[in-house]
Amino acid sequence: MASYTIHVNGADHTIDALPDMPLLWVLRDFLDLTGTKYGCGIGACGACTVIMDGEATRSCQVQIKDVASAKVTTIEGLDVNGNHPVQQSWVTHDVPQCGYCQCGQIMSAVALLSKNPKPSDKEIDEAYAAQICRCGTYVRIREAVKHAGGHMGEK
């Protein structure tokens, strides 16, 4: 075990962990930030997506020893009351079915729209490459991303 201090949702957290422990399990098991979901552990589904220094990042693919000074934002750090434009768009467009993957889907949208508030379909496809929703909410995810893009910065 080694001691690491990581920066999550605006606060520093010091954790004793195995150096190769994926950020995913640090968030879930140690920091109780369970909105970040385990889906596959191999970076193939996107359920564990968080934002690291502005980039959508699959937290199962980042080891704690490599997090260093990166600023990590999880769904819990977005808006606790769900008032972020992307969260609101997700509610308005009634995206979730089982809901399990949706925090990851939302974080991908936030990362995309922060840089590009009016993404084309192709740009949305690229941002969502290999991000799976087993319930098949893709149609509504796309609608919600487009709608939210028009409202970024209104928060």
Binding site for other proteins (CB under 8 A): 1, 17-18, 20-22, 25, 28-30, 32-42, 44-45, 47, 74-76, 78-82, 87, 90-92, 94-103, 106, 124-125, 128-142
Residues in the chain: 155
3-state secondary structure of 24: helix
Provide the minimum distance between the beta carbon of 107 and other proteins in the complex, in angstroms, as a whole number. 10
Provide the minimum distance between the beta carbon of 35 and other proteins in the complex, in angstroms, as a whole number. 2
Residue with tokens 């949305």: 124
Provide the minimum distance between the beta carbon of 88 and other proteins in the complex, in angstroms, as a whole number. 8
Q: How far is CA 153 from CA 45, 74, 110, in A?
A: 28, 19, 11
- Looking at beta carbons only, is 70 or 100 nearer to other proteins? 100
- Looking at beta carbons only, is 18 or 68 nearer to other proteins? 18
Provide the minimum distance between the beta carbon of 68 and other proteins in the complex, in angstroms, as a whole number. 19
- Looking at beta carbons only, is 13 or 76 nearer to other proteins? 76
- CB-based contact 143:72 (threshold 8 Å): no
- Looking at beta carbons only, is 28 or 149 nearer to other proteins? 28
CA atoms within 13 A on the CB side of 109: 31
Distance CA 127, CA 56 (A): 9
